[in-house]
Structure 1
Amino acid sequence: MADRHTDDEPSTELRTDGGERKGEPTDDLAGVGRRSFMKLAGAGAAVAATGAVGAASALESVDADTVVDLGEEGLSDGDRIDPYLDEHFNDGVEVHVPAGEYGWGGGGFSGDVQNAAVIGQGEVILNTVEGQYRNVIVATGGTVAVKNFTVRGKVEASRVRIEAEEGARVVVDNWNFPDGAEAGTSGRAFYCPGDHAGEAVIRNCYIRGFDDNGIYASSPGRDAGGRVVVENCFVHNNNIAGIRIGGRESVVRNCVVLNDGPAPVAESGHRNQRGIRIANYEHSVDMLIENVDVIHSSEELGGGGPIRWSNDSPLSTGHMQGVRVHNANSNVAAIGEKRERAEGWTGDDITVSGDGDLDVPDWFTNVSTGDEITPSDPTEDGDSTPSDGSDGSDDGDTDAGDGDGSDGDDADGDDADDGGSTDDGGSTDDGESSGSGDASDGSETELVLVSTDSGGLEYTFTATGPITPLYDRDSYRANRSAPGDEAEENDDGTWTATGATAGGSAESGDSFLFEGGLTEFSATGDVDALTVYADGDEIGVDELTEEYGVSDEDNDADGDDDTADEGSTDEDGEDGGDGDDGSDEGDRALSNHVIVDGTRVESIASYTIEVSGDIEPDESISSEGNSRWDEADDIIEDGTVTGVVAKGVDGFRYSGEITSFSVDGVVDVAVDSAEL
């Protein structure tokens, strides 16, 4: 087995088949074992008490003509998988990947395809060898699916872009990203661009530790209006937002959003963890959030709230049902800080708890408040079954981490991160694009300004980091001769570029690299003839500063005027470093965690855990299911806990080491030894 590519303390994953892994490093919470990323709902509760974890994994209606087994094509454990995927992921082909571990250079899944799939046959680990992944999966017809993969290794400026043309469908199922991204590199797991017009389904995924959103799927609301369904996912400690939605009839169902520890800081250097962010765009209508638990267990995570709306207008519409929110942040409301932004939404069967602000829109019905998150009664068809306790983090919207005054779910902007990506067609990228270089604040962006049949124009823009004119580029190079295109540093450490494009019938263009985020962009003259590209993707002038902007006042990527929660004071390296929340000595003593997840099957399991120190329940990482067995109290005595779990999740804090673990039944168990 390959290492987990982290330098943290070792963690152990216990498996109910009697196996045990030891000494494989992982990041903070929940040794999130390779076999249980998706099901772990441990930090909050049970993902889908309907048993959908198994049922939803079925790969439906991929009408492939051919099945190709990569093992038969020569792929062996430890090989680099990219060239095999490049060759076989085509129209009408269902590619099977044998169980094993493979090197992954970050490609292979990209393409405009129809009725195709790539399916891991068992446990398939993709170990990142380049520290990046950049893929664009476009379903042009039928269903295109990727299923059963786990990506290991912390990455930079990475994302998988998924989209479907109208009438087509793209599905990612059990594709897990437990190691996240390096701070300040604009990394995220999945991005759904504005061009998405069909249906995208993201299900059964574990996504943790990204600096620029976990699932960024709000852009379609601004543009093509495509539907996005996020279900049975566990989204854990992601900066900006855990889940973002915005397209017509989009859904978040049976998910856990948990913020119980620090996410990597964004490009701006700030941390602002939110849970679910809802876009207010033209096509942000008829959306649904049901059976979702959002847990925000600390006030020291940058100020983000559990469920938030983006900019004021136009208003989105939708309904929340069976939603449970735990909020420890006293500076931001549990659901919606700005009432006018929530006016198009209704809510029913809402439970809020915690020591923070428990405010909910006052027109929501059946709202209850308590010390603990309790499940709702499931409906007959199971649609309202309780989900797992989780937390949330809502994003500011830009890739650049914080700072723009809008939701910023811009199709371009985000994929613009796909910058040097080989999959983004049509780009003006001539090989100079930087995608994600190691800039002073973690990122470089290539900006190309092109005018066509214009009367000429002048422009200026300012960035928080250095700006470099690209004088030697093959096309659209910056001009050295007077009046030249140039950049210089300002007294406050920012940089400003100025330049002009020529008039006439031909194209004229200039190119720059800028580091950090934009604080200003303006152009005068024949602006209607101007086309702007960021990292190879066309982006509107008005959207440029939304997607790449950094607020001068508080670096609030959210842009929702949400007072102190946005311009977080919890910056990386300050006040306890990366997220030490100053919990009391008792909590520190019980700094280890064990999570018993009973949501995997429709049965009851009993278990016994013995530790060398003390052990006690942790309600913040527990959730009851829809069985009376989950309501039974666990018996704890002399460092031993005996419990029963059906469709819920039992979480405990303990000191010392686990000396014995036994289970009668089927559960997923995760153990970690890192302090929260």
Structure 2
Amino acid sequence: MTGAAATTLATGAAAAAGVSAADSEPAVADTEQMSERQLSISDGEDLSSYVSDSSNGELLVVPSGSYEWNRRVSFSRRNWGIRGEGDVEIAVPASRGRGTKNGYVLNVSGDNVFVENLTFDSDGRPAIGFRCIVDQRAEFRDITVASDGPRTWNAKQTNMFNVGAESSSGEVLLDGIVAYNNGNISQYNGGSSRVGIWSSRSGKLTVRNSVVSGFPNNGIYTRMPGALEVDNCVFANNNVSSIRLGGSNEVVKNSTFYLDLSRDDTTHSHPQRGVSNTGGITADNRERASNGGYVRNCSFIVENVPNSTGAIRFLENEWVEVEDSQFLLNQSDVPGVGWNNSGSARLRNLVFDTENGSGAAAASQGGQYPTVEDVCVSSDLSDGAIDASSRNCSFDWSQAHDYPNPDFEGGTETTGNGTDEPRLGNTLVIDGEGGSERADYQFAVDGAIEHSEYYSAYGTGGEIDGGSATGFVRGGADGFRFSGELTNLQIDDGPTVRVNGIEVDPDDIGEEDSGNGDSGLERTIAIDGDGGSERVTYRFTVDGEVERSEELSAYGTGGDIDGNSVSGFVRGGTDGFQFSGELTELEVDGEPIVRVDGAVVEPAEIVSSDAGQELVNTLVIDGEGSSERVDYQFAVDGAIEHSEYYSAYGTGGEIDDGSVTGFVRGGADGFRFSGELTDLQIDDGPTVRVNGVEVDPSRLWD
């Protein structure tokens, strides 16, 4: 188990009959149904292109190395998998998964899917996400993902794992997942921000031997009739909860939960821009889930977590059973079993302790406690709504997992059970690289600054005055942590400058930034919501390069850049970009202000009549949220490509030259094509739109 101790709590009472399905050994993918194909791929190549070209029945074997993943891969496959041999590290573009809930790097449906031994750790820490909805079986094993966000307000982000089995007899297994989301957990954004693991399907979900840390919209969030088993995992600082627990067939066992924001330098709340309300487990049975849930052999450590209402609390769930577990309550206003909302908590064989005499309550008022058996509450705590069976007890650290230690730059620097002071979220390093010349620098931020010994080596440390710092390096490195944005940086030639671990050009930062820098991207486009409350989506393509412009943006989502195409939305704010070449496609809904090269334009008139004519038509098959599977096939006399912009929770279909076959189950599959639509066959149910106009498939050729 990466990043956590392998110890587990002592085995408790036998499982209740109601969770026998959740306690059974999980089914796994059948790799015997796959033929191994060893990839001949070199360091730096685009692994996603190999994955996109794979077929049913293949198990791709990736040799040890460092690769890129530059495209979204969306397809339906059966008896398909990918496995890394040795150390396989994959870099993803920094914009991936931001500004949308659907920016998955891999979106695979079908059945019998297997993914193993891959590490995603990229500059810019994109919101890397995987979607895998199968009929019966899927397995993800030994997958590490290091992401970084959101750190900005009101940002949508793609869930890290969106998984599930459609069949009630189906199962999905996540084993050895290391999910680090090094962002500001207060940015819940009304539920539109990033979830660690999400499922709403009918089959069983098993998560074991895993780490889930730093998510703003819950670590594991399920709304499912299927069973859930969480075993031997460690969770740290997930807002609103590490696990939403809802159902008599759901069990959490042998796991450790940390509520301690002092250990993470980016998991802080921002005044009037979201708050943290971190809990360990929230009993929640909304939508397709039932009532109930079981917590066994778990440890809860509450140290420093503003606004929390309890390590375990209730929300629309009638009961939860907690047994053979321990609570360390070092924050006076956070109870062990907290905000109860009239739920019924059954407590057996529990320890409630504190290391600092906090006086916190073991169990708060408001709910019911029909069972309180063998519950020990330290004399330095309050019983609250229950009566303790005994007083002489202590929290046993040997029975808890260690705090997870993210090993990517910019994460927490604490390990084990230490109590390091909180740090500011961003880093700036000025590195003289061993040179003999003195190089002077000065910089300013719109937040706070502190010197960082961790990022410094043989430097002078600089002089900090409020939000600015001045100093020099001669061969050594001066490192700083800061909050807010870097607004100005001036430095003599020579040193290497890194911001949040990424090497930058000082001329591109702050007041000296013209918006174009030396990138050669001299043209600009800005989509301005003009302060409105309506969501406005956009999509554009250029025949050159494109990158986001912070100077031209304000309170926007940033869009999702995929090669030379960009899609996104604004709601009152502005998304701005720099690009080279010509605009070949521009589509917006609503009425935003669109400026190209600083001039207001009409989107319908900006693209030349002979530009972007290769794939000018669209076809969308929209399941409209239905639970029924609907198959389709169609053909054109030109070219076809899948469109992420027009798709949502669909399978993507399988494209074979000028024809496509696929299915939707509630979601939408969208395509772009050239030429004419020559055939379309589809089951009843979905809405079909051609070039944005709803059509009746049976009358297309009347």
Could you state the TM-score of these two structures normalised by the residue count of structure 2? 0.44
Q: Which has the larger radius of gyration?
A: 2
Q: Which has the higher contact order (CA 8 A, sep 6+)?
A: 1
